[in-house]
Amino acid sequence: MSGADVTFHAGALPATLVEVDLDGWRAEATRRQARGENLLALVGSDERDRQAGYAVVAAYLSPDGLALVRVQRAAEGPWLPSLAGTYACAGRLERALRDLVGIRIVGEAVDTRPWLRHAAWADDAHPLRREPMPAPSEDSERYPFVRVEGDGVHEIAVGPVHAGIIEPGHFRFSVVGEKVLRLEQRLGYVHKGIERRFTELPLAQGHRLAARVSGDSAVAYSWAYCMALESIAGCRPSPRALALRAFALERERIANHLGDLGALGNDAGFAFGLAQFSRLKETLLRVNGVLAGQRYWLDQVVPGGVAFDLDDNACATVIEQSRELADEVQGLRAIYGDHAGVQDRFVACGVIGTELARRLGVLGLPARASGIAFDLRADLPAPPYDTLAVQRAGHADGDVAARVSVRFDEVLESLRVCAVIAESLPGGALREPVARPEAHALGVGLVEGWRGPVYVHLEAGADGGIRRCHPHDPSWQNWPALEHAVIGNIVPDFPLINKSLNLSYSGQDL
């Protein structure tokens, strides 16, 4: 399907592209919200070099697949009506769109505060416009946090620099005693110009940058990028390559869930849990190193296929380790469930109810823990998941205990999937050639990472380069839910609630 000089390709992914005018922009959002579709991403691009002003694409996700809605705006004074009244998650997406591309957002109660401008960018600086960035500003503006006032109310400011080895983010708590009345986040401190950097790379190398958008989701991002590239290049990886990609993705999911389950035990005062799950994660990573030469698989998913293989001995090792880990995880699950102190901290803590999760557009693991049963591997299964029969995890309570339960279920299911792949690894080439796509070909990739759906929007440029690439993390949708989840809880519960979501700073602060 084509429109406005962009040729759209989706490969095996069910996806459509619709061109709309300004009225249709809001109408499509209203219609899709009424149908229960999620707003997945907003992608803006500077098209003035093609005499087309600016373009913005809204990506919507439903059980039927992806729908892209594209609108064009004038070269002078570009603006768009806000979708935040229809989709709560649009607010931050629109603020980033304004900062990066310079498209003004219009509507009632629009949040006009900067998202990424941390007092260093000039007023007319927009990194994703085609002209060079103006010189930095020396202005030291104060960010206008929302203040809560009343008897006994005070503020606790945490970050952006933290005591632990974590990424920077500022959290402003309004509290009475230890009870949290409001939390406001300010993120964007690890903005690193990733989207601009993509435009300086050839298409054949973009997967390496994609793998580094959020290092704990390297396989998910590089697969989503390769899926987008392969769709516009007409490349179909072999069954063996796809099976190995799924294997790598599930190993990534297991490693992150094991780490989080240990950290959650530690935050509940149960250091035994941290020690045991850290041991299991280390065991998994050591086998990763043997299988592919890397503990974390940053460059194992490549255009056209994969850069590693499993021989018979490796498959036997995977099958045995999957069985052993499943037995140990089951045992630790019973210990967590029977420990009164741990359950006292987990149950009814940091609740995100189903209705709130729907209103905020929560995605991925926290959505499944809040009664919204959707997992791309089970609900939109692209090869090889169409043959793996993944069992979707889910829970209805929406608290820390529910998110822990979903993690346990997903670890066990991913171990099963890895064993199945190792037992019946199909044949085929590890890597197929990838032809150079035509300029302005648009492709998309969508993969269920361990946090939720990872989306890549990719447009080819001239001479094999990247014209535009937007990698999208589900943390965009889920960070606002943390602000709601902590309300009514006490301050010492915040680390536990935060870790139960474990959202990415880097994946959002592109």
Residue 334 in domain: yes
Question: Is residue 270 predicted with pLDDT exceeding 90?
Answer: yes
Q: For residue range 280-315, what is the model confidence (pLDDT) as tens digits? A: 999 999 999 999 999 999 999 999 999 999 999 999
CATH number of residue 252's parent domain:
1.10.645.10
Tell me how many domains the chain contains.
Answer: 2
Residue 332 in domain: yes
Q: Which residue, of 116, 135, 164, is where some domain finishes?
A: 116
Band (pLDDT 50/70/90 cuts) for residue 219 is very high
CATH number of residue 89's parent domain:
3.30.460.80
Q: What is residue 154's predicted lDDT score, i.e. its pLDDT?
A: 93
Other CB atoms within 10 Å distance of the CB of residue 439: 15
Residue 10 domain boundaries:
1-116
8 Å CB contact between 379 and 63: yes
Average pLDDT in the 48-76 region? Answer: 95
Q: For residue range 179-197, what is the model confidence (pLDDT) as tens digits? A: 999 999 999 998 999 999 9
Q: For residue range 31-50, what is the model confidence (pLDDT) as tens digits? A: 999 999 999 999 999 999 99
Residue 57 in domain: yes
Q: What is residue 2's predicted lDDT score, i.e. its pLDDT?
A: 40
Q: Which residue, of 66, 81, 116, is where some domain finishes?
A: 116
Please tell me whether residues 365 and 245 are part of one structural domain: yes
Q: What is residue 21's predicted lDDT score, i.e. its pLDDT?
A: 95
Rounded to 5°, angle at Cα 259 from 257 and 265: 100
Q: What is residue 11's predicted lDDT score, i.e. its pLDDT?
A: 85
Ranges 115-124, 420-429, 488-497: which has the least confidence: 115-124
Ranges 80-94, 145-159, 365-379: which has the least confidence: 145-159
Q: Which residue, of 94, 116, 138, is where some domain finishes?
A: 116
Q: What is residue 4's predicted lDDT score, i.e. its pLDDT?
A: 52
Mean pLDDT score across all residues of the chain:
94
Please tell me whether residues 99 and 200 are part of one structural domain: no
Other CB atoms within 10 Å distance of the CB of residue 339: 17
User: Which of 445, 442, 480, 417 shows the shortest CA–CA distance to 221?
Assistant: 445
As a 3-state breakdown, the chain gives helix, strand, coil percent values, each rounded to 5, of: 40, 20, 40
8 Å CB contact between 437 and 7: no
Question: Is residue 89 predicted with pLDDT exceeding 80?
Answer: yes
Q: What is residue 140's predicted lDDT score, i.e. its pLDDT?
A: 63
Question: Is residue 474 predicted with pLDDT exceeding 70?
Answer: yes
* Residue in this structure with the two tokens 């003004």, named with its chain if needed: 104
Q: What is residue 139's predicted lDDT score, i.e. its pLDDT?
A: 65
Question: Is residue 96 predicted with pLDDT exceeding 50?
Answer: yes
Average pLDDT in the 436-442 region? Answer: 95
Residue 163 in domain: no
Query: Looking at the whole model, is its pTM more than 0.75?
Result: yes
Please tell me whether residues 100 and 224 are part of one structural domain: no
Q: How far apart are CA 70 and CA 68, in angstroms?
A: 6
Ranges 137-151, 160-174, 216-230, 309-323: which has the least confidence: 137-151
Question: Is residue 339 predicted with pLDDT exceeding 90?
Answer: yes
